[in-house]
Amino acid sequence: MIAYLTATTLDGYLADPHGSLDWLFAVDGGDEALAEVAEFMEGVGAIVQGSSTYEWVVEHEDLIAHPGKWQQFYADRRTFVFTSRAEIVQVPGADIRFVGGPVAGHLDEIREAAGDKDVWVMGGGDLAAQFAAAAALDEIRVSIAPVLLGAGAPLFSGQWLSDRLRLVDVHQTGQFVQLRYLVG
């Protein structure tokens, strides 16, 4: 299964206009939500990120100076970073593949890396939409925070009507509402 799991503001933004996720870490109940992400990670064999998400993680966690933090979170999971940039920094010792072009051209390699586990499309919204366009997105799990940014990086690009999504789970974690949709 390929799942897009992310957190968003009530008005549908992943990050503020400057690419910051500071809003996310200020919400009560974040530790409980992170515990749910850790539980989800147990079933994940490969991770996919866009270059903006990857660079934010590298900078936010200071991974070039402290590459061991990568291992603490990602363990031995291969991470695919979709990028069109000529130069992008590599976290020392991390199992990262920088790839470009259409998602469809990399699906076999991504699924093979995941083995019998799931693939986590970590972000961003444009990359998740590319997986959906390639008919390769099975599930969307979104945590909605009581924050309104008014602008920023959107949860998802493109238009979908309700016939594409089936709600299968709803629950509250702290101040977050967790929604799980199957993509059809």
Residue 179 belongs to a domain:
no
Residue 82 belongs to a domain:
yes
Structural domain range at position 68:
30-119+129-137
Residue 142 belongs to a domain:
no
Number of domains, the chain: 1
Q: Across residues 151-156, what is the average pLDDT?
A: 95
Q: How far apart are CA 28 and CA 146, in angstroms?
A: 10
Where does the pLDDT of residue 161 fall: very low under 50, low under 70, confident under 90, or very high at 90 and above? confident
Element housing 121 (H / E): strand 118-123
SS (H, E, C) 132-167: HHCCCCCEEEEEEECCCCCCCEECCCCCCCHHHEEE
Residue 98 belongs to a domain:
yes
Element housing 130 (H / E): helix 125-133
Reported as a single tens digit per residue, the pLDDT across 164-174 is: 999 999 999 99
Q: How far apart are CA 31 and CA 78, in angstroms?
A: 25
Nearest to 149 by CA among 8, 27, 6: 8
Q: Across residues 67-71, what is the average pLDDT?
A: 92
Residue 162 belongs to a domain:
no
Reported as a single tens digit per residue, the pLDDT across 92-123 is: 999 999 999 999 999 999 999 999 999 999 98
Residue 70 belongs to a domain:
yes
Residue 173 belongs to a domain:
no
Return the CATH number at 81. Answer: 3.40.430.10
